[in-house]
Amino acid sequence: MKSKIQFLLSMIIFGTIGVFVRYIDLSSSEIALLRGLIGSLFLITVMFMVKKKVSWAMVKVNALFLLFSSIALGGNWIFLFQAYKHTTISNTTLSYYFAPVFVMILSPFVLKEKLSTKKIICIGVAMLGMLLIVGNSGVSTSGLDDLIGIGYGLMAAVFYASLMLLNKFIKNMDGLEITLIQLGTASLLLMPYVFFTEKLSILEVTSSSIPFILILGIVHTGIGFLLFFSGMQKLKGQSIASLSYIDPITSLVISAGVLQEPMTFVQMLGGILLLGSTFVSENNSIKFPKRLMKTPAK
């Protein structure tokens, strides 16, 4: 029960990120850099307190995949935060949650995993859901901004899918170690990019943004990841897959119930199809009828 509560809390924390990003008066790359730096410092402190050391020998062995996964993490954050600035939290969440679909599509090529009939159908349903979300955004100025935001959300999903696939190749390192190395490396890689593109504007952050930056770095990154990895260690894959949907549900509830952001019935239907199809694809207890699973004779 303790593990489920820890994982559940991490999902709720991740689901509230969009609200806090809205109140930070910095560019997406600057927010990503500060989140990585603060989160890294927090996790280093935690590891020091529990006397846990990073296995540098394993870091060296996995160096290439750690580097590329860190780049994917940084890109994921930049596009995700950019999406929050252009469209609603619900649109961002649903487009971002297309990541599992990208993983399903790429798995046969990257991981050599067989793409079952069940997953092919789920991919088709998820794409239909995304078309309903995008197609109902309209062509007005605000609608165009929504489309741009959804585009950024899909790019964030591409980077997140890349991160998930790259992490499959990292061996003999636990989740906390991997996260710390990825956060630290992503921060180091973002530094020259931020200072080259944004100059020193990061030092001119408004006082009203500072509390939200600290919350994003400490709570949403440090504490969020700590609860995430602590909880998932003793949970079965089935439970992790099911509880993961608390993240987008939290975001959608905040978007509609707290911020009163508009969402049409068609977009809601698209969201149900998207989230429902990814849930079915990850849930091994849900099986399609054998007749449906058989491939037609040629």
257: CB partners within 8 A, 6+ apart: none
> Could you tell me if 119 and 282 are in contact, meaning their C-beta atoms sit under 8 angstroms apart?
no
pLDDT of residue 287 exceeding 70: no
Amino acid at 146: D
Output the pLDDT for position 189.
94
User: Rounded to an integer, what distance in angstroms lies between the CA atom of residue 123 and that of residue 121?
Assistant: 5
pLDDT of residue 88 exceeding 60: yes
User: Rounded to an integer, what distance in angstroms lies between the CA atom of residue 272 and that of residue 76?
Assistant: 24
Tokens found for residue 38: 């603060």
pLDDT of residue 257 exceeding 60: yes
Mean pLDDT computed over 266-287: 81
Lowest mean pLDDT among 46-60, 134-148, 251-265: 134-148
Mean pLDDT of the chain: 86
Tokens found for residue 206: 């408004």
User: Rounded to an integer, what distance in angstroms lies between the CA atom of residue 53 and that of residue 58?
Assistant: 12
> Could you tell me if 265 and 39 are in contact, meaning their C-beta atoms sit under 8 angstroms apart?
no
Q: Quick one: how many helices (H) and strands (E) in the chain?
A: 16, 0
- Residue 80's pLDDT band (boundaries 50, 70, 90)? very high
Instruction: Specify the pTM.
Output: 0.86
Output the pLDDT for position 235.
77
User: Rounded to an integer, what distance in angstroms lies between the CA atom of residue 86 and that of residue 92?
Assistant: 9
